Amino acid sequence: MALEMDAQVNTRLIANLLRGLAIDVETNALLARRVVEALIGAELLDDATQELVTGEYTTVDESPNSTIPPGMLIGMQVAMIDLPTLYRTGGEEQVRERLGTLEVVALKKLIQVQQLDPEKKTAKLRSAAKLVDFIIELVTAQVQQENELSKTASWML
């Protein structure tokens, strides 16, 4: 699907998406392959770059001496998830789908990194479903509050 020349794009959202994608690509060889195939298909790589990214390489080193420690990597991945934007664009279903790909450890890290639970209500939760429900409840309330504020402040425009 091609954009028309006068179409507007949300550059901030695209940049956040690409940052998160870059982090995921570094740790997921299958995803990296799909990204390279998409770039080649869209003719976004010159011949030299295409040759560099499609050569035969050994798998990524998963040792503790890897470029990014696993705990930090999880933190980076979940910090890049823009929950309010996901909710605004696709509703609860899209947020639930995105969070459904995360394990309990990553969900707890998301709550910690994005400071969603200052009262530590989720500290004892062990179920991914309950953590996802908690996050969705917060995001829903946040977006609804923003919508209400924008309605009440519209008289200022």
Domain enclosing residue 52, as ranges: 9-64
Dig out the tokens for 149 from the structure.
């504020």
Residue 18's pLDDT band (boundaries 50, 70, 90)?
confident
Q: What is the pLDDT of residues 23-82, one digit of tens each?
A: 677 767 788 888 888 888 988 888 888 888 776 655 545 444 456 566 666 666 676 788
d(CA 39, CA 1): 15
**How many CB atoms sit inside 10 A of residue 144's CB?**
11
Number of H helices, E strands in the chain: 7, 0
The per-residue pLDDT for 20 is: 72
Number of residues written out for the chain:
157
Considering only residues 52 and 146, tell me which one the structure prediction assigns the higher pLDDT.
Answer: 146
The per-residue pLDDT for 64 is: 46
Q: What is the pLDDT of residues 84-112, one digit of tens each?
A: 988 988 889 989 988 888 888 889 988 98
CB 66 within 8 A of CB 60: yes
Same domain, 87 and 140: yes
SS (H, E, C) 81-115: CCHHHHHHHHHHHHHHHHHCCCCHHHHHHHHHHCC
Same domain, 52 and 98: no
Same domain, 39 and 101: no
Amino acid at 92: E
pLDDT of residue 117 exceeding 90: yes
Same domain, 29 and 92: no
Residue 154's pLDDT band (boundaries 50, 70, 90)?
low
pTM of the predicted structure, to 2 decimals: 0.54
Please report, for residues 12, 19, 26, 60, 147, the alpha-carbon distance to residue 80 in angstroms, rounded to integers and kept in the order given: 12, 7, 15, 22, 23
The per-residue pLDDT for 11 is: 78
Same domain, 74 and 111: yes
- How many domains is the chain partitioned into structurally? 2
